[in-house]
Amino acid sequence: MEKEIGDIVEYVDPVGKSHKALVTANWGIASPTASLNLVYVSDNENETDQYGRQIKRDTSVVHESSQPAHGRFWRDLV
- Condensed to tens digits (0 to 9), the pLDDT of residues 24-35 reads 999 987 788 889
Does any domain span residue 24?
yes
Does any domain span residue 29?
yes
Does any domain span residue 3?
no
Does any domain span residue 48?
yes
- How much is the average pLDDT of 9-13? 97
Does any domain span residue 35?
yes
Q: What is the pLDDT of residues 46-73, one digit of tens each?
A: 999 999 999 999 999 999 999 988 899 9
Q: What's the domain range around 29?
A: 8-75
d(CA 23, CA 45): 23
Q: How confident is the model at residue 3 (pLDDT cuts 50, 70, 90)?
A: very high
d(CA 63, CA 52): 29
Q: What is the mean pLDDT of the chain?
A: 93
pLDDT at 74 over 90: yes
What is the count of structural domains for the chain? 1
